[in-house]
Amino acid sequence: MTKRIALISEHATPLGIFGGVDSGGQNVYVGQLAKHLAAIGYHVDVFTRRDGEHLPDIVEWHQGVRVIHVPAGPPVPLPKENLLVYMDEFTAFVLDWCRHYSSYDLIHANFWMSGLVAANIKQSTGIPFVVTFHALGRVRRLHQGSADQFPDERFAIEDRIVQEADFIIAECPQDREDLVQLYQANVDRITIIPCGFDTTEFWSINRTHARLTLGLSPDEFIILQLGRMVPRKGVDTAIRGFAHLLKQKTIAARLLIVGGESETIDPKLTPEIGRLRAIAQELGIASRVTFVGRKGREVLKYYYSAADVFVTTPWYEPFGITPLESMACGTPVIGSDVGGIKFTVKDGETGFLIPPNTPELLADRLMYLYDHPQLTNLLGRQAVRRCHDHFTWSKVTSAVAALYEEVLADGCATAGIEANQLAILDRGFDSMLQTVQRSQRLLRSDIQAAAQAMSAAFAQGGKLLLCGNGGSAADSQHFAAELVGRFCCPQRAGLPALALTADSAFLTAWANDVNYDNIFARQVETFAQPHDLLLGISTSGRSQNVIAAFEAARRLNLKTIALLGGDGGELRAKADIAIVVPTLETQRIQEVHLLVIHLLCELVEEHLLAMHDCTLQQTQWEKDGYGFSVEPCLENTSQPKDPAYSGNSPQSVASPMTSTAAHSSKTLVIQNP
Ligand SMILES: O=C(CO)[C@@H](O)[C@H](O)[C@H](O)[C@H](O)COP(=O)(O)O
Ligand SMILES: [Zn+2]
């Protein structure tokens, strides 16, 4: 199935003309990527801001590529520094488009404002996105200071994009380093994919032929500077370097400067040209510097091919597409040793790298190339090879497509895992609810009977012995802890309960030396006293050590309660009271066991509370030195519910809820603070 990709590029349209202030590498990148993605089977829509009233809503640009003009802000060209306020409108349009026309498998955002749009769309729709920043706000601020007119919100927005993007495309190692250092990006979610050049657009044309085509002198040493005309591109360095060269040597040389807002030179439209021209004049080389103006992309290969050397000396450069294009045309590059340039240009192999703002060094290198035409040719040939090996748009697009597929596969896997996890959750809750409901219908009377038996045992000075394996061992201890400690009633003394699962020294020794099957039976025989109660917990009802404990209890005349599940197993018949959870699922049985345990605690406390106004009488335990008493926990004047707990009962003589205040001297071996 054809995958649908939305390329968002808020200010840089692929239909734009190269060389304007805001039209440069990003326009090329978006256009080339779109075309090449379509060529390998993707459907691509490029969303870019409508910056002209008469632009059509949708341009069918190439097979498989549409350019969609997004109404966001006035339909006129605006500096990109002023576009942030229109991004909500931009987002709303794309969201609406996704809902009504066509949605996308993935969004590829270009530049930070498009990243913001993509992050917001992901938030609403879950569509994953990758981002190519093309330039980073913090890097720009570092180099441009107050000349950077982008709003400060850019930094926080970029931080958010870095966090929320599914993957980040860095265009060169420096870009990756900046993302990690300045944005704390996770290096595992960054991949380096450079920009490319179009092999059908740039190739090496015979130099003489190219010069003839452009009407340039066949004999001059031609240095080319081509690109956006903004101060940070450091075109003044090229002019100053050229001036140095001319100062050192009398040669027939020319600096061609291509770019600007218009085809004919107009410093009003391109103030940078005015500034540069003034510099050239000041240096006395104005006649050797030719400002050419903006040129259509179809003629750029002639300029690159016509030149002996291409110079690009920006202060910094996120990637820099022009050195690549020049190298593709067989012209070596002298470039600043910054950003993407130090990645694309191999020093001494395809040109030279120099620090930014070093016109003297530039003059040196120019001189060297002028003096060594054969070397210049060799560097040019090597440049062509390097470009074809690493930087064709088809290679770049394959890498980008591989990344898309990785993100989409991750997304599917995550979606699959999520769906699976939700299904597990729902199944668990549903089966738990069903089991609880069935237990509520079936187990009420058994639970009540168990609570009464326990209360009676406590009232008679008996204790509760508990046992079980695994989860049921933990439940036994949990149960004992609730009784010895407190459950709902904050002011009572402990109720005697002993988990036979807790003494690891005895358990391991006995199981190791004698037999695991009677680890509990042995303890029942050891600890059991009259009125004690044995409570065994087993989901299957088939654990031999629990069965053996019940058999021991029977021999000692202890009453028994079993918390079971499924069909109740053998224990069902061996227990005086069997609470059998009606399901075969072990976990659900255990979960209901815990509910039953808590209910038993509550019911027992309730029973004992009901007796708290009984007169104090000594218990069997007290006589034996294990007496306990319970401080009143609630005002409760009701009469005992069960005559077995009444003070009048011949056997059951104590109320564990009697007030200690009234008779503290008599009892309270276990007493609450
Ligand atoms: O917690 C669990 C299962 O959820 C296990 O530890 C489980 O309690 C153990 O397998 C027990 O050995 C099972 O014994 P039983 O419930 O059949 O008497
Ligand atoms: Zn468990």
| Residue nearest (by alpha carbon) to ligand 1 atom 7 | 470
Fold of the domain built from segment(s) 4-192:
Rossmann fold (3.40.50)
Is residue 16 within 8 A of residue 46, CB to CB? The reply is no
Q: Poorest-confidence range of 254-258, 324-328, 418-422, 447-451?
A: 418-422
Q: In the chain, what is the greatest distance between 2 CA atoms, to the nearest angstrom?
A: 130
Q: 419 CA to middle of ligand 1, Å?
A: 29
pLDDT at 44 over 50: yes
Which mutation among 586, 587, 589, 594 tests ligand 1's pocket best, with the greatest number of atoms within 8 A of CB?
586
Known binder of ligand: residue 512? yes
Fold of the domain built from segment(s) 207-391:
Rossmann fold (3.40.50)
pLDDT number for residue 439: 97
What is the CATH architecture of 435-608?
A: 3-Layer(aba) Sandwich (3.40)
Whole-number Cα distances in Å, 15 to 64, 268, 321, 440: 15, 24, 17, 71
**513: Cβ–Cβ under 8 A, 6 or more apart, which residues?**
none
Of 367, 411, 537, 569, the C-alpha closest to 467 is 537
User: How far is residue 432 CA from its own chain's centroid?
Assistant: 32
Q: 586 CA to middle of ligand 2, Å?
A: 8
> For all residues of the chain together, what is the average pLDDT?
88
Which mutation among 469, 547, 583, 585 tests ligand 1's pocket best, with the greatest number of atoms within 8 A of CB?
469
- DSSP secondary-structure letter at 275? H
pLDDT bracket for residue 466 (50, 70, 90): very high
Q: 565 CA to middle of ligand 1, Å?
A: 11
pLDDT at 479 over 60: yes
- The structural domains of the chain, with segments of one domain joined by +, span 4-192, 207-391, 435-608
Q: What φ, ψ does residue 310 adopt, rounded to 5°?
A: -105, 135
CA distance 329 to 383: 8
Atom of ligand 1 nearest to the CA of 539: 16
Residue-wise pLDDT tens digits, 244-284: 999 998 999 999 999 987 888 877 878 889 999 999 999 99
Task: With H, G, I as helix, E, B as strand and everything else as coil, classify residue 338.
Answer: coil
User: How far is residue 231 CA from its own chain's centroid?
Assistant: 38
Residue-wise pLDDT tens digits, 484-507: 998 888 778 899 999 999 999 999
Q: What is the mean pLDDT of residues 340-355?
A: 97
Known binder of ligand: residue 120? no
Q: What φ, ψ does residue 336 adopt, rounded to 5°?
A: -65, 145
Which mutation among 431, 466, 472, 567 tests ligand 1's pocket best, with the greatest number of atoms within 8 A of CB?
472
Q: Poorest-confidence range of 119-133, 156-170, 555-569, 633-647?
A: 633-647
**String of DSSP letters for 73-98:** S-SS---GGG-GGGHHHHHHHHHHHH
Question: Taking the model in full, what pTM does it have?
Answer: 0.58
CA distance 582 to 328: 77
| Residue nearest (by alpha carbon) to ligand 1 atom 6 | 470
Q: 539 CA to middle of ligand 1, Å?
A: 7
Known binder of ligand: residue 478? yes
Q: What is the mean pLDDT of residues 66-80?
A: 95
Known binder of ligand: residue 590? yes
Q: Poorest-confidence range of 266-280, 302-316, 438-452, 631-645?
A: 631-645
Which residue ranges have their beta carbon within 6 Å of ligand 1? 469-472, 538-540, 543, 586-587, 590
| Residue nearest (by alpha carbon) to ligand 1 atom 14 | 469
Of 325, 243, 333, 317, the C-alpha closest to 281 is 243
Q: Which ligand minimizes its atom distance to the CA of 585?
A: 1
| Residue nearest (by alpha carbon) to ligand 1 atom 2 | 471
Q: 585 CA to middle of ligand 2, Å?
A: 11
Atom of ligand 1 nearest to the CA of 569: 17
Which mutation among 500, 507, 519, 539 tests ligand 1's pocket best, with the greatest number of atoms within 8 A of CB?
539
Q: Would you tell me how many other CB atoms lie within 10 Å of the CB of residue 314?
A: 25
Q: Starting from the edge strand earliest in sequence, which strands make up the sheet with 464-468, in order?
A: 497-499, 464-468, 533-537, 559-565, 577-581
pLDDT number for residue 23: 54
pLDDT number for residue 391: 95
Say what the ipTM of the complex is. Answer: 0.92
Residue-wise pLDDT tens digits, 575-589: 999 999 999 999 999
Of 654, 627, 12, the C-alpha closest to 318 is 12
Q: Would you tell me how many other CB atoms lie within 10 Å of the CB of residue 3?
A: 16
Angle between helices 25-39 and 393-459 (to 10 degrees): 80
Q: Parallel, antiparallel, or unpaired: how do β-strands 58-62 and 65-70 relate?
A: antiparallel
Of 144, 344, 118, the C-alpha closest to 233 is 144
| Kind and range of the H or E run holding 43 | strand 43-49
Q: Which ligand minimizes its atom distance to the CA of 471?
A: 1
Known binder of ligand: residue 470? yes
**Is the model more confident about 597 or about 26?**
597
Q: What is the mean pLDDT of residues 38-58?
A: 95
Q: Do domains 4-192 and 207-391 have the same CATH topology?
A: yes
Structure tokens at 611: 């007796």
Task: State the Cα angle at 574 between 568 and 580, rounded to 5°.
Answer: 25
